[in-house]
Structure 1
Amino acid sequence: MSDSLRKPLSDQVGEKITPDSQKSSLDQAKESVTGAADRAAGAVQPDSNKSAGQKLGDSTRDGADQGKGVLGQAQEALGNAAQSVKDTVSGTGNTANKP
């Protein structure tokens, strides 16, 4: 598989720096589909067959995906903490430790 079947790195960067508010629904849908196809192609294409640009793009995207996982976990933890405080203040929290 060659880089010609991959989404160019310049397109990927351009899509990321353009705010969604400036994109049509069709553009956003197209980016989603072509991005998913590029991820799949990148996953099956050996690194030895990738250009330096595609290796950089894939590794950057992989790092961002992992960052989303960490960010999602942090958001969940903050949400749980906020709910716990809310429950405690309203008196609906766990009463197992109350006298």
Structure 2
Amino acid sequence: MKLPDHEQRELEEIERRLAEDDPKFAAKLNRPAPRVPRRTLVLGGVLAFYVAGLVVVMAGVSVGSVVLIGLGAAMVLAVFGWFAVRAWRAHQDQD
């Protein structure tokens, strides 16, 4: 979103004064945000899928639905299967 000219000038003036007053802090603000490693994102997604499976199991138990319980259990077991496949592939790569 484009700022009006007078607001853009005010913002630039604030940035200039900040850089003069505290150059270290201004340098920190200009640095790009650190990236989250892909491995962390994948493990977070797997953990979220596991928790979702547990929630589906609990919903199935509270409703009394065998289908929901089975679906949630399959989700939870899929996480363990994912870890097993990853470990097996890592072991195969080492040989």
Name the TM tier (shorter chain). 0.3 to 0.5
Please say which structure displays the higher CA radius of gyration: 2
Q: TM-score, normalised on structure 1?
A: 0.36
- Structure with more relative contact order (C-alpha pairs < 8 Å, separation 6 or more): 1
| Structure that is richer in helix per residue | 2
Q: TM-score, normalised on structure 2?
A: 0.37
